[in-house]
Amino acid sequence: MNALVLALSALLAVASAAPSWGHGVVLAAPVAHGAVLTPAVHGAVVAGPVAHGAVVAGPVAHGAVVAGPVAHGAAVIGPHAPGAAVIGPVEGPSAIIGPRAGPSAVVGPVNHGAAVVGPVNHGAALVGPVNHGAVLTPAIAAPSVIAAPAIGTYTNAVLLEDGELMDWVMVVIGKLKNS
């Protein structure tokens, strides 16, 4: 426990000295095993309990969040703008990977590799419960949502502005909502 406190203190000391961070960047404990914020501005947050490689990696702006309980590789990786988030309970390598704009989110409970992979614009979201490798990639536009319960694999999903779904390779069990 003392080692964890010392590690967090050192990480917070480095964070407070980082000139590229500003405007309310927060790293809230308990956070363990490689939590990272860099560079991040305008309210980027890693909030615990978060463990095993939670990451907000920049450039990230305007409210990027990894909020726990989150475990095992949850990530918000930039460039991102306006409200990208990984919000728990999330387990496995859940991710929002840029470029990204709008309030993109992976919201739990999510397990085993849920991901929103960019480019994604205008409110793309993966909302739990979602299990076993649910994925949105490579491009989603308009307010697109995969809303659970969803079990299976989503790959190569492209939702056009008019709501037409293209390139839907596999859906085992689940549904797509265009809100």
Q: pLDDT of 32-71, one tens digit each?
A: 666 666 666 666 677 667 666 667 766 766 667 777 777 7
H or E stretch including 117? strand 115-117
Return the minimum-mean-pLDDT range out of 7-11, 20-24, 41-45: 7-11
pLDDT at residue number 170: 30
Task: Name the helix (H) or strand (E) containing 14.
Answer: helix 2-17
**What's the mean pLDDT when you consider all of the chain?**
58
pLDDT at 12 over 50: no
* Tokens at 95, concatenated: 């991710």
Are the C-beta atoms of residues 115 and 91 closer than 8 Å to each other? no
Sorted by sequence, the CB contacts under 8 Å of residue 61 that are 6+ apart come out as 40, 41, 42, 44, 80, 81, 82
pLDDT, tens only, 80-114 = 666 677 777 777 777 777 776 666 777 777 776 66
Does this model's pTM top 0.85? My answer is no
